[in-house]
Structure 1
Amino acid sequence: MGNREIALYCIDNIVKQGADKSQCILKSNKKYELNFGNEDITLLRTTIDTNIDLVAIKDDKKSTITLNKLEEEAINTKIKELMEMCESAESDQCNDIAEEQPKEEFSSGASEPDLDKMYEFTSVFLKKLKEEFPQVKFVDGTTLEFNSSETNFLNSNGVDFKIVEGIYRVDIGFLAKEGEKSTSFTGFSYLFNELPLDFMEYADVRQRFKDIVSQLNCERIKDKFIGDIILTPELVVEMLYYYNINFLGDRSLIGGTSILKDKLNEKVANHNFTVKCMPLCDEIANKNFITADGYKTENISIIENGILKSFIIGLYAAKKIGKPVTKTDFNIVVDNGDKSIEDIIKSTKKGIILGRFSGDMPASNGDFSGVAKNSFYVENGEIKYAITETMITSNLKDMFNNIEEISIETLNTGESVTPWMKIKGVTISGN
């Protein structure tokens, strides 16, 4: 049987075993993984795996199970276990599966990797890194991968989606070391449909290595003050991730803890702030064609010119709180501004460029504090030095209301497209 036929077999047999509704996600993935160290490529391997996620709902009771074998006997054994779990589950009328939608197939990227290009991409990058930044040392998990996958999403309501994807992913983990001195580690990931010719010249890759080398000589900020923070594009995504969990997503809305739960179509952020979920955007390499619940995704605005336009709600939460399902995924695109990052730094009287944040999840009201890592102190429009042992304290809702400037430049990681963003009124402490 092909993958679709196996998925059909699963949902049919779950119903035959007494379920009212069933769902099957069957994903086959072939990964070409190229590992490398500072000197050379260390490993090239290919792995193939298949996973099946099954859902059963009976008398409003829901159970889920996962298996990685496609043999009929293994599937039947897991379905029996799935139904036994369902019998002992708690009944909840909000348990459900997506309703029927038109059958559709989606595709993105190449079906096979260009292995010669992968090798050349890595070799050129390593040569330049060694010549320009000998202090930079890789940590474990530094890879270039190509993932080729086929996903079949079917349910007993008639949902029948197929997704075929191929995508390159670069994961770089690194620190700088010179003599007895070393920095904290950091890292970044980019996803591509096509590999760039020269990775060192791509986006801000070279600047990242310049920054980590300069962090070999860190200083402590000597006082505590209210100042500005300049979020890097990836920190913009991270803060929006926390914002979603605390204010816009399932958990906070079901629990009633979201301070924005009654603020739809009201001002919740600065007027210059527009953020969208764009899983189908042409600029996004790692597209998401369907939601986790099995709905075809859409590009939507979350906040538009500071006005809250949408929550991000899954099927269970939508039924629980009586709001519509949000048919999107968390591929964040933030509208850029009209000032260069250079001019934003020049306009900063006192603050930091926040490269990485280490802290606990924000409280339900948005309060948070943590340590600024891989960051720089800015005073009177100049980057003075890399910093160490520096705390920042703020509030998520206040942050996005206190946006002063947004850069014209953006960073495309393949999953998000975001600018640099300057926030005023943040407590910064070097003590």
Structure 2
Amino acid sequence: DINFACANIQPTSDPSRTTITKWVAYAFKSRLCLFEGTFRKYHTNLNLTGSASRWLQESASASEEIIKNGGFSLNTAGGPGVSYRQVFTSNTPVASEVLQAAVSDVNLGVLNEANWWWTSGTYGAKASFTRTFINTYLKLDGTPYTSDPAYRTMEFKDEVKNRDLRLKQTIRLGDYKRISNGQQVAAPPVFSYTFTGYQPIKWTLDDLYYDAGALNTNAVALYRYAEVLLNFAEAKAELGTLTDADWALSIGALRSRAGITGSLSVRPTVADPYLITNYFPEISDATLLEIRRERGIELSLEGLRFADILRWKRGSLMEQEWNGFYVPSLVTPMDLNEDGVLDVAFYQGTRPAPAAAGVTYVDVSATVGTAVNSQLLRNGSSGELTWMKEIPRKWNERNYYYPIPLNDLQRNPNLKQNLGW
């Protein structure tokens, strides 16, 4: 029982951040109750909306217990340009912010494969962010990037400027460097890996040494104070009790850590039409929309997004197009990080010759040989990159639940299989 755990686990501090303390139990309760409360609220077909508030209040209370008594804080060491990513690349858990982590150890042979997964062109899913999501990162003044219609045709080198500083700590852009044989080298997005141009770096170590296999030594945070703040804000917003002071304590603090200067102390009053159109058409509350924006950005690549989609009943987001950065024209090499070195060009038909030195050429023809090409430009010879448009993606309502294993059904005839399975 989670309440029993919160009340009876005695340790409140573990410098290694590898064991379950009282605060880890409260963090789990905060996450669990937020899931249950919002699932009941938005899945109205279950006829459980009447009990949603109780679960949301439990989430808010558990979060508040950590906020008031846990002694945690957001990591701000080094300033807003580096402090966010430090939490994910540090070998030792950042104790001020991390409540619990899975720690690597070279001597024990316990390592992770973050670099291998996020850099290899042959291992892993070669996953990258979509442009639709990258567009949700605010400008540094706290206003939506998409307020200016010019965003639709802005090139990568320009669209990443003057944005929430978590963006430069989450994907390759601008002056990002890697280390090769002890020397810093420019590291723009690599199109042998990324299909959209938005290549993740949040969990990767900068030295190329770690790319060759399961060699990563960085600790993997399992529960963070940042998530507790987000749970607190969302639960109270869903209950209708979030104050300006609560906003400043949670969302304002997270955005301040990211270098954002505007709208840190007062709840928003104007709903962002981009979020409504692309993500949450049923939500009109400006504060709740911004909390969901913040959650997506702050917790990206931490394994919580699918659970959020389930509880918000937004499974249709799984059908979203996989789109990438804007390409103004064919056969025009692009300098993605403005270091004076051309990086990538897109063509159709025959590969340009002679090829520009150092440029990766990507074929965006409708077909390659007799096969349909998955990598295209939206307008044929220009526009956003698109990936795998030829493969339909359809959300099935049964996917809001997992199937009950057959062995369990056989052992207990009173169990009934979840709907649709």
TM tier relative to shorter chain = under 0.3
Higher strand share: 1
Query: TM-score by structure 1 length?
Result: 0.21
The structure number with the bigger radius of gyration is 1
Q: Which structure has more RCO (C-alpha within 8 Å, separation ≥ 6)?
A: 2
Return the TM-score normalized by structure 2.
Answer: 0.21
Greater share of helix = 2
